[in-house]
Structure 1
Amino acid sequence: MIPARDMMPAELAALLHFYAEAGVDWLVEDEAVDRVAEFAEQRARGQRASAPAKPAGQGASAQATTSERARPSAERAAPRPVAPSQAPAIPDEHAITEARFAAESARSLDELKTALEAFGGCNLKTSARSTIFASGDPASGIMVIGPMPSGDDDREGAAFSGRAGLLLDRMLAAIGLSRDVVMITTVMPWRPPGDRSPSQPEAAICRPFIERQIELSEPKAVLLLGNFTARFFFGETGTIHALRGQWRDIACGGHAVPAIATLHPQELLTAPASKALAWRDLQAFKTRMDRP
C-alpha cells in the first residue's frame, strides 16, 4: 500500500472519499497498539511504586523497582493520545446561529446555494463529495423533499439519483409530473458517513437552509418522502406508516405550507407491498394540486 505521504493530492482525496463511502468514521495508527498490555504494564508499575520496602534478602526486586523509577520519563511507556471526537468545528449553538444568519441573508435560491456551499459549520460536509441543493422549476408550486443524500446522490451531485431516483420518476409520472417541473431536494445537504441517520445537532444546523429553500421556492404543497423527513417537519416520533397520508401545515418563514408524507422510494424497493400505500398518498397529492 502506498504511504499517504507519497500520494498526490487527488489520490489522497479519492482515498478519503472511498473511506467515507465505506462508512469509516475514524482513522487509526499504521501499527496496532495493544492497549490491554499497556494498561497491565502501567498497573504493575503503580503496584511496584506503592509497595513497602522489602528486606535486604529481597534486594533484587527492590533494585528492579528502583531502576524502573530511575528511567527517564521519555523511555517509559505512555498512553497514546486519544483522537478528538468529531464535534462541529464550532460549538453547536454557534453553528446554528451562523446557519440561520446565512440562510436568512439569502434573497434568492442562487444566493442561498452559494451561502450553503460556503458554510463550514457542519462536519458532514467534510466527508461528502457534493452539496445537494434544490433543483427544478419553482413556478410549478410543487416541492418534493427527501431525507439525506444517498451514495448515488453524493456521487452524481443531485437528489434522488440511482434506483431510488428512477422509481421516484415513475411515481411522479403516474400523477402527471416529472422532476423537471417540480422542485426536488433533501433535508440534509450532505450525506452522512455510512448512510447513518443525522444526529440532532447536525439536523438543527441544517434546518435553516432547508426551511429557507421552501420559503424561497414558495410551493403550494410539499411531498415529504421517508421516515426522517416526516419526523423532521412534523416534529413527531412516529413511523412513516403512522405519519403518512395526512395533510399538515409546516411552518417556514413565518407562513404555513401544506404537506403530506409518504414512503421513500428506497423503502418501496425494499418492501414492494407498500406501493399501494404510496399510490394512495400520491393520489391525495394530485387531488390537492388539481384544485383551482
Structure 2
Amino acid sequence: MAWWHEAGVDLLVDDAPRNWLQPPRVATARGSSPTVEATATPVARQAPRPAPVPAAPVRPDLPDTLDALQAWIASDPAAPEARWGTPRIAPAGDPASGVMIVTDLPDEDDASEGRLLGGAAGRLFDRMLAAIGRDRASIYLGSLASARPVGGRIDSAHQDKLAHILGRHIQMARPKRLLLLGDAPNRALLGMGFLAARGSLRIINHGGIRIEAVASFHPRQLLKQPALKGEAWRDLLLLNGGPGQ
C-alpha cells in the first residue's frame, strides 16, 4: 500500500477498467423510483493507426534519346548532381561498340582532364583496355554520378535517383556487355557489392533488354592493392568472352 501511495494512488475505484465517458444506465424496479446503475464496461480501445507509407522518391523526367540524355547528364539543372557545385563530366566513347563500362563517379583528377578516369587511375585503365584489344574509342564509358560530391561519396538520398538515370542510360545505349567498376555501380544495378558479384556473368533485364554484366575492381583500388591485378585480368577475360565465361 505504501508503494501505491507514493505512486499517487490513494483510492481503490474498481478491479476492472471503467468507461467513465459512457452515459449511466437507468434501472427501475416495481414500486420504486429510478436508480442509476453504474456500468463496468471496459474502455473501448481505438484501432491502431496504420503506419504512414513513405512517399516514392521523386525521379526526374528524362529525355527520350541517347544524345539528349548525354546532354542532360552534362548540364541540365534538374540532374541530382546539379547542386553539388563540382564539374560534371559527360559519358564518352562509342555507344555502338557493344561494351559499356560504368564507374562510380569522377576522381579528383578527372575535372582537370575533362574526362572520366583520368590521372594515374586512367593510365592504368588504358592499359587494361589495351590488354583486351580495346581503347577508349572502342568502348562506351559512363558513370553512376557525373560529378564528384564534396565528400567524395554518394549519399543515400541520391542513390535511387542516380540508379534510375543509369538504368535509362543503359537502356538507350543498348550495350551487349557491361563492366561495372567498384561497389556503387554494382549495388545500383545488381543489388550487391562487386566482391559478391564477381566471378560470373550477371544478367540484367532492363526495359526489355537483356544485358550481361561483369563486376570488377576500380582502377583506383588496383593502384592501392597491385596484387589484385591478376583478379582484375580474369574479369577482363570474362568481359571479352574468354576463359571463365
> Is the pair's TM-score, using the shorter chain for normalization, greater than 0.5?
yes
Amino acid at match of 1:165: G
Q: Contact 2:89–2:116 at 8 Å: present in 1 too?
A: yes
Aligned to 2:238: 284
Provide the aligned length of Structure 1 versus Structure 2: 189
Q: Contact 1:165–1:265 at 8 Å: present in 2 too?
A: yes
Q: Contact 1:128–1:154 at 8 Å: present in 2 too?
A: no
Post-superposition offset of 1:251:
3.0
Out of 168, 185, 188, the position equivalent to 1:232 is 188
- Aligned with 1:148: secondary structure? coil
Aligned to 2:77: 119
Matched, 1:134 2:88: no
Aligned to 2:156: 200
Matched, 1:264 2:218: yes
Aligned-partner Cα distance in 2 for 1:283–1:151: 29
Amino acid at match of 1:207: A
Out of 216, 224, 247, the position equivalent to 2:201 is 247
Identity score, percent = 35
Post-superposition offset of 1:210:
1.5
Post-superposition offset of 1:93:
4.5
Q: Contact 2:178–2:213 at 8 Å: present in 1 too?
A: yes
Structure ranking higher in helix proportion:
1
Unaligned runs of 5+ in 1: 1-91
- Aligned with 1:232: secondary structure? helix
Deviation track 1:5-50 (CA, whole Å, cap 9, x = no partner) reads xxxxxxxxxxxxxxxxxxxxxxxxxxxxxxxxxxxxxxxxxxxxxx
Post-superposition offset of 1:213:
1.7
Q: Contact 1:188–1:203 at 8 Å: present in 2 too?
A: no
Aligned to 2:104: 147
Matched, 1:166 2:120: no
- Aligned with 2:92: secondary structure? coil
Distance 1:157 1:252, change over 3 A: farther
Distance 1:216 1:241, change over 3 A: same
RMSD: 2.2
Q: Contact 2:167–2:189 at 8 Å: present in 1 too?
A: no
Post-superposition offset of 1:195:
1.1
Aligned to 2:168: 212
Q: Contact 1:132–1:185 at 8 Å: present in 2 too?
A: no
Aligned-partner Cα distance in 2 for 1:114–1:137: 15
Unaligned runs of 5+ in 2: 1-54
Aligned-partner Cα distance in 1 for 2:79–2:169: 18
Structure ranking higher in strand proportion:
2
Aligned-partner Cα distance in 2 for 1:142–1:128: 31
